[in-house]
Amino acid sequence: MKPLQYSILLLPLILAACGYGFGESGQSVLKPEYRILAISGVENPTTLSWLEPRLRKLLRDELTNRGTVTWVDEKDKADALIDIKIISYNRPTAVAGSSDETLRSNAVFVFEATIKSATDGSKLWSSGGISQTWPFFSGQETEADMEVTRLGIRRLADKMSQNY
């Protein structure tokens, strides 16, 4: 039984050596001098008015929970500014079957984020395009909207950590 006890104690050390971790470590692609952030803007070409405030809240909450940045509301008090550009957001449907009923759809959220220095406007980091999908059935559109945006912002936060 003793070897099993030692194995259980060594497992977290072995996983940590392989780069796995438990919980967020507070690491960031941003240098410490750029970790006071403000959201500069959310470019929303869609007609979905709920999308911009939802992304702002999700981003602030996700990065605050990870402990990687400090948020300020005023841009002139920030060291860096983050911009989110929504490339597309849609819920295409496909019909299938003899009765032409919509069986399953996907919410598709495509966006990118850029972080710039608040002092000189130089680009500090760019996420590149992030595409997130979430499958849903008829009547689950609201749940799909909430989930696809939550997962998209989580992917952005993952990309902002150095361990990603």
Domain extents in the chain: 2-160
Residue 112 has pLDDT above 60, yes or no: yes
Residues with Cβ < 8 Å from 18, sequence gap 6 or more? Answer: none
DSSP letters for 127-145:
---EEEEEEE-TT-HHHHH
Three-state DSSP at 65 gives helix
CA atoms within 13 A on the CB side of 124: 22
Report the alpha-carbon distance of residue 47 to residue 63 in Å, rounded: 27
- Whole-model pTM: value is 0.78
Four-point Cα dihedral 86, 88, 89, 93, nearest 10: -170
Q: What are 2-58's pLDDT values in tens digits? A: 665 655 655 555 555 544 444 445 578 889 899 999 999 999 999 999 999 999 999
Q: How confident is the model at residue 86 (pLDDT cuts 50, 70, 90)?
A: very high
Task: Please tell me the class of the 2-160 domain.
Answer: alpha beta
Confidence of residue 101 (pLDDT cuts 50, 70, 90): low
Calculate the average pLDDT of the chain: 85
